Amino acid sequence: MVQVHTCTRSNKGGNKRATQGWIANVETDKLKSDGDVSPYELRNWIMKTYNVDVPYLKVFRGKEQAYTDMYVKWEDSFMKMDEFREELLKRNEGSVVEIDFDKVGGKKLFKRFFICLTACSRGFVVGCRPYIGLDACHLKGKFNGVLAVATETFNSWIGKLRYKPVLDLLDAIREKIKKRFDKKRNLVNTWNGVLVPIAKNHLNDIAKNLGEYEVTRSCENQAEVKYKGTRWEVNLDEIKCSCRVWQVQGRPCVHAAAFIAFIRDANWDKYVEPYFTIEKFKSAYAFQIALMPEQNQWAKKMGRKYIHLLSNAHLDDQEKIELNHRMSLKEDTSARDVVSMDIVKKTCKNPASESFDQSETATSKRKRGNNTKSHGDLGVSGST
């Protein structure tokens, strides 16, 4: 009687049934649910799920094909940039939408895209404190790039959208802003009082631990506040504290709170900037983001068609030579800048500290091999 065969099958020639098309098919649902997943993680997932060992390169190409199947070709997303711009401006009057590009031969190479929707800009002017926080995140699609925004905690807010082609990415962000505006308008209807909940909670939290602060008045609205041997000046008329937290945040610091609590029947609301009131919050989200149809329903625009800087398949030989020459000039310029900065450092009478690393203040990107090519940038202004 023949025994049961238990040894594994030799796979020296690779698994021929695990084609690139099959890999793209099984990866599609994974990419839709989990967002951007590295080829290394996808390879391990295929091995664990299907018990099939496939080469890294085949997984990488399968992933690209899956993205192409989901979002059409990455290069095609740059072809409709003008149509997207015109559709935004037509439906959101007063918005600012700009496209920057380089011209090589008869081709237009996409560089950067800037959007500021009128609902966001008007809401910011009438309802927000006059401070702008800038954030950026690196895109993880085929052509990479940097997405810079006037917002807060943008990396977590954009989430899994960063791997999408540029046009799908911009449209998805527009939709997220539209949903957020509607959500905030509904939320504010559930609030009562004068101040927004975050300001109320702040005042309640700092008011709980004021027993150890000593308040010494000099007049009705000025006092010195002492705590563990340290002293601060508080002026209620000018909304100022020597710690400067009150001036920066727009809400009373703990020292100002100690003085306000010292006053009998004090009205706490008047010591908080108007931007923390429910009325200002309503004003910030009062404007509407216009609706937009699917891409195939946009008005067709003849004329400029953009291609990405790294997608040089559309360039002829002469245009490729011109592009390479421009890129080399940019690299030479960067080298000259480094030399000139070194000269300034040696001759400056008041140089920066050696411990200061300028690179730490910028958004750094994880290295991916030895790829040193420049990528396109996107700018989006949105209220979050």
Which tokens belong to 349? 């009478």
In DSSP terms, 230 is beta-bridged to: 227
What DSSP assignment string belongs to 245-292?
Answer: HHHHHSS--HHHHHHHHHSTT--GGGGS-GGGBHHHHHHHT-S-PPP-
CA distances from 142 to 60, 74, 155, 355, 370 (A): 11, 7, 19, 36, 16
Q: Which is it for strands 134-138 and 107-116: parallel, antiparallel or unpaired?
A: unpaired
Tens place of pLDDT for every residue, the chain, 384 residues? 566 766 655 555 456 778 888 988 888 888 877 777 888 999 999 989 888 888 999 998 888 888 777 766 666 777 788 888 899 999 999 999 988 887 776 777 777 888 899 999 999 999 998 877 766 666 555 545 665 555 555 556 666 676 677 788 888 889 989 999 999 999 999 999 999 999 999 988 888 888 889 999 988 889 999 999 899 999 999 999 999 999 998 999 999 999 999 887 788 888 999 999 999 999 999 999 999 988 888 877 765 565 555 444 455 555 555 555 555 555 444 444 443 444 444 455 555 444 434 334 344 444 444 443 334 455 555 544
The domain spans of the chain are 20-71, 76-188+287-321+373-381, 198-276
Q: Tokens 């149509």 map to which residue?
A: 83
What is the value of pTM for the model shown? 0.62
Query: Side-chain half-sphere of 352: how many Cα atoms within 13 Å?
Result: 8
Cα torsion 304, 305, 310, 312: sign = negative
What DSSP assignment string belongs to 93-156?
Answer: TT-EEEEEEEEETTEEEEEEEEEE-HHHHHHHHHHS-S---EEEEE--SSS--EEEEESSSHHH
Alpha-carbon distance of 76 to 64, in angstroms, equals 14
Residues 6+ apart with CB under 8 A from 86: 298, 299, 301
Cβ burial 257-269 (10 Å sphere, 16+ → b, else e): bbbbbbeeeeebe
- What does the CA dihedral 192, 196, 197, 201 come to, rounded to 10 degrees? -120
Task: Tell me what percent of the chain is helix, strand and coil, each rounded to the nearest 5.
Answer: 50, 15, 35
Which tokens belong to 81? 């940039």
Alpha-carbon distance of 169 to 243, in angstroms, equals 42
Which tokens belong to 212? 């150890």
- What does the CA dihedral 84, 89, 95, 96 come to, rounded to 10 degrees? 60
Which tokens belong to 163? 């791997």
Give yes or no for a contact between 262 and 207, defined as CB atoms under 8 angstroms apart. Answer: no
Q: What is the pLDDT of residues 327-382, one digit of tens each?
A: 555 544 444 444 344 444 445 555 544 443 433 434 444 444 444 333 445 555 55
Alpha-carbon distance of 38 to 57, in angstroms, equals 12
Give yes or no for a contact between 113 and 143, defined as CB atoms under 8 angstroms apart. Answer: no
Question: CA-based diameter of the chain, in Å?
Answer: 107
Alpha-carbon distance of 311 to 323, in angstroms, equals 11
Alpha-carbon distance of 113 to 36, in angstroms, equals 23
| Residue from 376, 339, 365 nearest 155 by CA | 365
